[in-house]
Structure 1
Amino acid sequence: MQSLTELRQVCAALPHSQETFPFGLTTLVFKVAGKMYALTSLDAEHPSVSLKVKPDDGEELRTAFSAITPGYHLNKRHWITVPLDGSVPDALLRELVQGSYALVVRGLTRTAREELNL
């Protein structure tokens, strides 16, 4: 995944995913049921995406891929930032986006999940 367009396509394919701009017009935030699972800057010179991860997974990913860093301006234990420059394999990045989404969905109340049929 090497562009914001590809990121948007991956996120749009997830059920009930929404594009929002709660932090201004240059920060695109992807949410499910009002909860953030991915965010990116639209005006960054080098685009990247921040994603939610389990703390142990985040540590392993940062060790395995030097391009993956702790979440920029986010809880460093629960978020990672991944550049959209091809340094992380597309399949892995798609898996990380889907995993971030799944973590957020798992954290929703049962009622919220039922309302969304998730």
Structure 2
Amino acid sequence: MNIEQVREYCLTLPGATEDMPYGKDWLVFRIEGKIFLHIWLEAPLPTATVKLTPERGEELRDAYNAISPAYHLNKTHWNDISIEEGLPEDMIKSLIDESYQLVLSGLPKKVQVKYSEAV
């Protein structure tokens, strides 16, 4: 996948929005104002940063060289995934979905229901 494909996929998720709150070199995707994915457009290697449970992040970091602690974010919860090498497209999409669902699960139940009905 490339950055544009990641962007397009994120925008297919119900309620997903994008913005650039940190300036022109950061693209952020949100659900109900809560971030589920960051893309640093000036990164040396194209990466997407996803939120995972600490256990899941550690498990994936141990298993894949293409997944590492997030460079600019809380390394316990955020993970950089190399999007152009090392991971198949379906796995990248799955990790994006996992991040989206994790953030959605932290929202009020009323909001969660709204999006579960949209799927």
Alignment TM-score, normalising by the size of structure 1: 0.91
Structure 1 partner of 2:7: 8
Structure 1 partner of 2:77: 78
Structure 2 partner of 1:52: 51
| Deviation, structure 1 residue 108 | 0.2
SS of 2:103's equivalent in the other structure is helix
| Deviation, structure 1 residue 76 | 1.0
| Deviation, structure 1 residue 98 | 0.4
Q: How many residues align?
A: 116
CA distance in structure 1 between the partners assigned to 2:48 and 2:62 by the alignment: 18
CA distance in structure 2 between the partners assigned to 1:67 and 1:45 by the alignment: 14
Structure 1 partner of 2:26: 27
Letter of the 2:94 counterpart: E
Structure 2 partner of 1:107: 106
| Deviation, structure 1 residue 92 | 0.9
CA distance in structure 2 between the partners assigned to 1:111 and 1:49 by the alignment: 29
Distance 1:71 1:44, change over 3 A: closer
Q: Are 1:87 and 2:53 counterparts?
A: no
What is the Cα-based RMSD across aligned positions, in Å?
1.3
Alignment TM-score, normalising by the size of structure 2: 0.90
Letter of the 1:78 counterpart: H
Structure 1 partner of 2:17: 18
Percent identical among aligned pairs is 36
Structure 2 partner of 1:62: 61
